Structure formats: C-alpha cells, structure tokens
Amino acid sequence: MLTIATWNINSVRLRVDTVCRLLSEQQPDILCLQELKSPTELVVTDEFAALGYKHHVLRGQKAYNGVAIISRLPLMDLGSRDFLGRGEARHVAAGLENGVVIENFYVPAGGDIPDRAVNPKFGDKLDFVGSLRDWGLREQPKRTILVGDLNIAPLEEDVWSHRQLLTVVSHTPVEVNLLNSAMQAGGWTDVVRHDIPTGKLYSWWSYRARDWDASDRGRRLDHIWATRDLVSNNHNARILRQVRGWPKPSDHVPVLATFDC
C-alpha cells in the first residue's frame, strides 16, 4: 500500500514545523508540496529526514511557486516541465522503485478577471492546463499518480456556491471544460471523487473570511488523479479539513489517498 499526500503549504520555511506535524500524525509514504516560496538552497530538509523522510526531489524559486516531493521511499528524479517556458518552478516528477511515477503540479492561479484579453494571467492558466492536456494525450501515462494545486474546482459540489462562482476564476466553464479535457486526454481518474462521489468537498478556504469555518466558503482546488491501472475500490481518499484550524495555517489543507501498489 502507498499513501500519498498533496498540500499547498504557502511558504515551506514559515511552516516547517507544520509539515513535520502532518508527517508525524498521518505518516504518508510521500508528501507533495506546492508554493514553497523559497529558493531550493534555503529549504531545510533535515527535519523531514529526521522523521524518516530521507528522500526528496525539489524545485525552489525565490518568493514564488516552488514544488517538492518528499518521501520515505527512494526516489528517482524524473525532471520538471516548464509549460510556460519561463523557468517557473511549477512541476517536478519522481519515480519509485516499483515503477510508479509521481507528477506534482502547481497550476497558475489565473488572476481575478476570467478574460485572457484583459488579464494575461488568466491566459497563462489556460495555456498551462492546455499543455497539461496535450502532454497527457501524447504520453498516455501508465502507473502514474498526478497530484497538486490545480487551482480549478471542477464540480458543482467542489465549491460553496456553484451559481455565485460561475464567473469567478477557479470555477468558470472555460476552466472546468479545459480541466475535464485534460483529465480525459491523459486517461486520468479523479481519485478523490472516485472515493467520495457526492457531497460538498473543499481543500481551500480564503484567508480573507472573518471566520473560515463558520462561513465555509471553500473550494476543492487540490487534486489527486491516477491512471486507470492504479484505480481500485479501496483508496480511502480524504481531505484534512481540520488542518485549516491549526496555528498559522496555510489556506490549503492536505489531500490524501492510498493505493494498492
């Protein structure tokens, strides 16, 4: 069995103790992080190693982006993709000894206005997900788990109000359709919705709410996908809502799934 977690940590240096708490309490085999907000050389990995997480592949960047895969199991660095061609640290991949591949992505948030003509950041987001779709179509991945902050909540029950978020970046039809086409092109299954098909499910709550828990205006932006050869009936996918209530929290919470592999 392999348990994998994904978490947008929003500064790994500020939250190294928070990461250690998650590792100690949940004991995933692999933890994928996004938004390290740190150069590679300033990420302290010793404390993860002390907990048994001795292996990592890491792509840092000053102030923005940054992704890492930290692991109890040996990893082969499979490199990173640069879909926007700007050297942004938004992807890293690793291979396990059993042949399973882990793909860790941080999709651009896309700015505030869902119109690429007036908001280039929205165009970048669509281009990034389009590249993700094209890559999946080309490669037809096998024995692969794709995780990350995809910054899109595809289903009506992935947002607190489908109607009110139709025009809000993260849940617009153009983004949702593109994400669905990427899922289909690569042969991916949404593992979390495979395990928890109905009901509201969120992995992110804004910092701007007076009381995130009471207002509960969340969105499911963080995802675990897998190729069909890894999908079985016993994944035990889960989203750790309570982590949003920890001291000095990230605005995202960890998403976990367990695989028979």
Partner DNA sequence: ATGGTAGGTCTCCTA
Based on the shown chain and the rule CB under 7 A, indicate whether residue 21 belongs to the binding site for DNA: no
- Measured distance CA(108)–CA(33) in Å, rounded: 15
DSSP character at residue 220: -
Residue 6 CB, nearest distance to DNA (Å)?
Answer: 15
Which phi and psi (to 5°) does residue 140 adopt?
45, 65
Tell me the C-alpha distance between 146 and 94, whole Å: 11
Residue 99 vs residues 74, 90, 141: alpha-carbon distances, Å: 11, 23, 12
CB 11 → DNA: shortest distance, Å? Answer: 3
Told to check if 163 binds DNA by CB under 7 A, we report no
Nearer to DNA, 38 or 203 (CB): 38
From 44, 64, 79, 236, residue interacting with DNA (rule: CB under 7 A): 64
Query: Cα(first)–Cα(last) distance of the chain, in Å?
Result: 5
Q: Which of 62, 138, 162, 200 binds DNA (CB under 7 A)?
A: 62
Task: Kindly tell me which residue out of 1, 41, 46, 63 binds DNA, with binding defined by CB under 7 A.
Answer: 63
Q: How far apart are CA 57 and CA 94, in angstroms?
A: 7
Minimum distance from residue 80 beta carbon to DNA (Å): 17
Which 195-234 residues touch DNA, going by CB under 7 A? 206-208
Instruction: Give residue for tokens 């103790």.
Output: 17
Which of 4, 32, 38, 191: binder of DNA (CB under 7 A)? 38
Binding span for DNA by CB under 7 A among 58-66, 68-76, 173-181, 229-237: 58-66
Give the shortest CB-164-to-DNA separation in angstroms.
Answer: 9
The secondary structure of 161-195 as a DSSP string is -HHHHTTSTTS-HHHHHHHHHHHHHTTEEEHHHHH
Residues making contact with DNA (CB under 7 A): 10-11, 13-14, 37-39, 62-64, 108-111, 121, 151, 206-208, 248
